[in-house]
Structure 1
Amino acid sequence: MKILITGANGMLAKDLIQILENQRYLVVGKTHQDLDITNKDSVIKVLKQENPDIVIQCAAYTKVDDAENNLNLARKINAKGCEIVAKACNEIASTMIYISTDYVFDGEKFSPYTTSDTPKPLNNYGLTKYEGELAVKNNCPKYYIVRTSWLYGKFGKNFVDTMLNLGTKYLNGEISELKVVDDQIGCPTWTKDLAQWIAKIIKNEPSYGVYHICGGGKASWCEFAKEIFKIKGMNVKVTPCTTEEFLRPAKRPHYSVMTPSFIIRPWQEGLAEYLQDGGQLS
C-alpha cells in the first residue's frame, strides 16, 4: 500500500512517516516545497504521478493567533487547499485522511464532545479547519476526519518543551514565577500516539467518517504543566491563572475535551514516555 503525506516536515507528519515505514508501507512525504496544496494543477499532477492508495493531509496553517489577522491565508490553506486535495483524491479513487482539531468546538458544552456534536468555532483557525472538514466531506467520499488536540512531539515546538525551558529558568532564578492558564480544559496528545492510531485506522479500515483521537482523560494547561514537572522531578511552583490574565489574539475554548473514538491510554502515560525518550530533538 502506498501512502502520500502532505506537510511532511511537520511535527505529526514526521512521526507518521517513521511509524508507517516501520510497518512496511510505501510512504511518500511531500513538503510544501514539493507540493503546494493550494495549487490545483500541481496537486493533480503529483497525485496522478504518485497514485497513492491513501493521502494523509498534514499540511495546514496552524498559527492560531496569527490566523486572526490572516484569515484569507488560513482559509486558502486549511479550506481551499483541502478542497483541492479532496477533489484530486476523489479523481484517483484514493482515501483521504484529514487531520482536524478540537478548536472546531466553542467549549461551551462543558462535557466531552462527541463526533455527532455540531462544530461552532471561536477563532479563525478553528473556523478554517472546520471549513476544511466540510471540503473533505463534500468532495471525497472515501475519507477519515481525525480530530485531535493539544499536540506535542519531538519534531516541533510544543508546550511540554516550553514548560521544561521555563522550569529550568525558574530553578536557575532567572524567573521568579511561572503562571499557567488553569481555566482551559482539553486532552494533551503525543504525536507518536496519534500517529500509531492513524496507522491502526489504515490497517483496520473502519467505516469512513469522523473520529476523535486524543490523549485519554483531561487536564488544564496548569495541570499539564504540573504533571510535566512531577515526572521530571523538577521542584517548580506553578501558579494557576485565568485566560483573562494571559490574553491572546485568538479566543480559546474553555472546555474542548473530546470523547475518543477508541480506548486510548491516559494522556499522562504518553507524556511520561515522551519525557523518558528525551523529549524534543535538538
Structure 2
Amino acid sequence: MKNHSKLTIAAIAAVGLLGLSGCAAGSSGNTGGDTGEKMDVTIAVFNGWDEGIATSWLWKTILEEKGYTVELENADVAPVFEGLSSGDYDFTTDVWLPNTHESYIEEYGDEIVELGAWNDESKLTVAVNEDAPIDSLAELADNADLFGNRIVGIEPGAGLTAAMEDSVIPTYGLEGMEFLTSSTAAMLAELKAATDAGENVVVTLWEPHRAYGQFPVKNLEDPEGALGGTETINVFSSKDFAENSPQAAEWLEGFKMDTETLYSLETAMFIDYEGDDYGPVVEQWIADNQEYVDSLTK
C-alpha cells in the first residue's frame, strides 16, 4: 500500500506552485501534455489469480507504449478493494460478479467504480484428476477416502473459499473432509504433484485458468448449483481514476477478451515460459496479436 504521506507532499507542492502554472492544485503525477491526463497509474493485482496477472501485464504494456508510467502492486483480495476505495490503487482487472466478490462490493461498492465486464464466460469449479473415479460433487462425500479426505483450496480470503465454506461443503455434506487453504501457488503445487504421481486429488479452481491446459483434470458436476452460475470478470477503479486519466478509463471501459484469447496469453506467460519477467513475453504476444491489441485503444 502506498504511503499516505505522498498526499501531503503533493498538496504542499501544489500550494507552492499556485500562481506559477495553470495546473489545478489537486493534480499530481505525470500528465499528458495539454490533455491533463494523469500518466502515473497503479494497477492492483490479486495474488495467484492468473487471469488478473495476465490482463494486468497486458494493460501495463499497452499503457506504457502510450506514454504512461505503470506500477503493478500484488495483494490479497481484501487489501485490493480497500486500496481502490482509498485511491491507493487506480484499477484492478479481476473482480468477479455477481457471486465471487459480492461481499466486497457490498462493503466497498460506494467508494469504487465499475468500468465494465471484459469476460462473461467464467465460473468457479471444483476439479479432480481426469481419471478420478467420480464425476460429481454429489459423489465426493462417499468417496472422500479415495482423495485422502482432503480438499485443497486457495487463499483464505478468496471468494472461491467463501463459496466452498458457505455453500459447497454444507450442500454436499463434505464437513468430514479437511479443507486446506493457504495460497493458489500451494494448490497448484499439490495438483501437479498428485497428477504427476497418478494420484487422486480434489482442488478448488475456476475457469478460465491455465491449469486446464497444463494438468489432466476435469470439473466435478455441481447438480445443486452450489458454486453459482457463469460470472463476469470486471474492471473496477478508484473514484478519481476516470477524472484523472479519462483516456485510460475509456479504453478500459471498452476492454473485451474472450476465454480463447485469454488462454493464449496465459499459455504464453505461464506454460510456455517458466520465469517471472513477463514483459518480453507479453510484448511478443502483443506482436503476434497486434490487430486485437490495437482494437483495445481505438
- RCO comparison, higher one (Cα < 8 Å, 6+): 2
Per the normalisation by structure 1, the TM-score is 0.33
Query: Which structure has the highest strand share of the two?
Result: 2
